[in-house]
Amino acid sequence: MRQKPIVQMNRNVKLITSRLQGAAWAFASALVLWGALPAWAAHAYAQFGDIQYPAGFTHFSYVNPDAPKGGEIRMVPPTRPTNFDKFNPFTLKGTAPNGISGLLMETLLTGNSEEPTTAYGLLADDVAVSADRLSVTFHLHPAAKFHDGKPVLAADVAHSYAMLISKQAAPQYRAIFAEIKGVTVVNERTVRFDFASPNPELPLIVGTGLPVFSRDWGKGKAFDDLISEVPIGSGPYKLINARLGQDVTYTRDPAYWGGERGANLSTRRGQYNFDRITYKIYLDETARFEGLRAGEFDFMREFISRNWARQYKGHQFDTGELAKRAFENRNPGDFQGYIFNLRNPKFQDLRVRRALGLAMDFEWLNRQLFYGLYKRVDGYYPNSDFHAEGLPKTDELALLEPLRKQLNPAVFGPAFLSPTTNPPSSLRDNLRQAQQLLHDAGWDYKDGALRNSQSAKGEAFTIEFLSDQPSLVRVVAPLQKSLEKLGIQLIYRVVDFSLSKQKMDAFDFEMTSLRLPGSTAPGSELIEQFGSKAAATPGSSNIWGIADPAVDALLQNVITATTRPALVTAMRSLDRVLTHGHYSIPQWYGDAFFVGYRPGQFVLPKVIPPYYQAEGWAASTWWASPANLRGKP
């Protein structure tokens, strides 16, 4: 089933490099963990003190440091079919091409696919966290330079931050950087960020979440007027002769400052091996798959289970010209669900939301439509340590008890489980429960429809389901039929992507489908997704409109956690509150990436890392086969 992506920041944590070496580094790191040092200053920063790679390491374990450079990989974006109409990925309006931020621009720190809460230096070669944890200072690598040959300086970092927190940028950046009080250019290559509170995640948020671009990009123009101007970044790839609305090809920069001809960074060795990375644009899903078969591109992630089961077969797969493979991972499962807009009065009663959830028959869908490929989502953090199970434990109760008066009493009982139709349960029994809940909420069946018995007008209960995915209708149809039995009319409205984005940014919808990618290190981005302030901010990721002081309090526990166990406890408590709020109808998730590709074009690393996204992993760590290096016939 196609999963609908949302705007998000990369929450994989990242790094910094210091001048401490050998035993001195090991001793200093130990003191940091014991709390004896006045500040953090080591070759890596870890939110919870766990650092896998020592100072002077040569490369990450899951890459081939000797991978040859050259060849190309041609992909399709891992999103619904759409075009792009701008090159600025940081503004609210419009759509930027896939990969532009990660391939053209870099951050001060970079993470890896093995450690959820540790980061290593990229643009910064040194980091220092103050003794009171209220600031972090980065020293920029002297070799770092932009694509135009100019050095990356502290003033560029400060400029990037100022642009992203301005009203000209998309609002999620202001939410993510909300705990940053300000930035100071200490000298030409040193920049300091001051924090509002001693949050141990903030150095990672700044280091890995702030893309740095040149002050010369669009100089003299307003930031939100930068549309056709290609960003001036420092990344391993350039965008040359690109045109809006066409396939986009990123070309590897042979003079890349961090590559083998430059600083030869250990955090870049064995990565970004292709000379060209192309994203092909198809506005139709059928045409896209036929493009794979015709050799128009080489790599495609499949989201629709029916396609995976039925289309990925035939002569080309039998001969090995094409391959299909489910790449397993240990990523936390994505949350995917039908969500309600709580700003609409009809969805403000918890009993109504719970009743609507009882109308979904996942078991039938998985059996009849998904070929048994998916698992049911029971919470917002499936397949992870953050998923709540059973009764609240003592550490969870310590967070929940002070909020008891504000919480649904069910929060203190067993963890939420999505309704099932497996025997002895059935859809009929679930609909009977739903009917009673709706009656209790003031909705009764009359004159051929479920009507508001508390209103003189007796308006019928209707739901408009907004979507930009025509293929989703076959999945929504069973829910539509179940709701009809309750007297509820669900209207499936399909619009194009640009109109859908516009309406979602304005919260102009009643019900839709949403996917939240799982995270190994959740933190401040959750405020953007569930915080009360974001609920009233157009364009935010709080699509539901959740504005709950209890949720806000638990979010603070998440972002101020100082140990991994404390983070797990806070997340499980948050999961209990969100699930018992019945803000969504949970759908399904998978624990593997379904990929079709041309195996003769690539060589894959021997080690598959635990935490990764399929497209980024292929683009950054695969390399061209000898046939690919010679060029395609």
Same domain for 327 and 452, yes or no, is: no
Same domain for 177 and 302, yes or no, is: no
Q: What is the pLDDT of residue 299?
A: 97
Same domain for 321 and 348, yes or no, is: no
Same domain for 624 and 509, yes or no, is: no
Q: Where are the alpha helices (DSSP H) in 105-225?
A: 154-164, 171-176, 202-209
Residue 74: is it exposed, middle or buried by C-beta count within 10 angstroms (0-12/13-18/19+)?
buried
Query: In this predicted model, which residue has the larger pLDDT, 32 or 337?
Result: 337
Residue 447 lies in a domain: yes
Same domain for 161 and 204, yes or no, is: yes
Residue 26 lies in a domain: no
Instruction: Report whether pLDDT(181) > 50.
Output: yes
**What is the pTM (predicted TM-score) of this model?**
0.74
**What gap in Å lies between CA 488 and CA 510, rounded to an integer?**
14
Q: What is the pLDDT of residue 81?
A: 53
Which has the closest alpha carbon to 281: 102, 106, 99?
99
Comparing 96-105, 180-189, 557-566, the range with the smallest average pLDDT is: 557-566
Secondary structure tally for the chain: helices H, strands E = 20, 25
Q: What is the pLDDT of residues 214-225, one digit of tens each?
A: 999 999 999 999
Domain of 420, CATH number, reads 3.10.105.10
Which of 197, 232, 252 marks a domain boundary? 252
Same domain for 422 and 303, yes or no, is: no
Peptide bond before 78: cis, by omega within 30 degrees of 0? Answer: no
Same domain for 376 and 239, yes or no, is: no
**What gap in Å lies between CA 524 and CA 539, rounded to an integer?**
17
Query: In this predicted model, which residue has the larger pLDDT, 36 or 515?
Result: 515
Q: How many CA atoms lie within 13 A of 75 on its CB side?
A: 25
Residue 214 lies in a domain: yes
Same domain for 344 and 396, yes or no, is: yes
Residue 353 lies in a domain: yes
Same domain for 453 and 557, yes or no, is: yes
Residue range 154-179: average pLDDT? 94
Residue 275 lies in a domain: no
Residue 469 lies in a domain: yes
Instruction: Report whether pLDDT(28) > 50.
Output: no
**What gap in Å lies between CA 15 and CA 157, rounded to an integer?**
16
Residues 6+ apart with CB under 8 A from 226: 87, 88, 91, 217, 218
Q: What is the largest CA-CA distance in the chain?
A: 81
Residue 427 lies in a domain: yes
Instruction: Report whether pLDDT(13) > 50.
Output: no
Residue by residue, DSSP assigns 506-545 as TT--SEEEEEE---SS--THHHHHH-HHHHTSTT-S--S-
Three-class DSSP labels, 536-595: CCCCCCCCCCCCCHHHHHHHHHHHCCCCHHHHHHHHHHHHHHHHCCCCEEECEECCEEEE
Structural contact between residues 570 and 562, judged by C-beta atoms closer than 8 angstroms: no
Confidence class for position 11, pLDDT limits 50, 70, 90: very low
Q: What is the pLDDT of residues 395-423, one digit of tens each?
A: 999 999 999 999 999 999 999 999 999 99
**What gap in Å lies between CA 162 and CA 173, rounded to an integer?**
10
Number of structural domains in the chain: 3
Q: What is the pLDDT of residues 502-543, one digit of tens each?
A: 999 999 999 999 988 888 888 888 999 999 999 999 989 999
Residue 120 lies in a domain: no
Same domain for 321 and 395, yes or no, is: no
Q: What is the pLDDT of residue 631?
A: 62
Q: What is the pLDDT of residue 78?
A: 82
Domain span at residue 499? 335-589
Same domain for 489 and 578, yes or no, is: yes
Same domain for 453 and 560, yes or no, is: yes
Which of 252, 272, 304 marks a domain boundary? 252
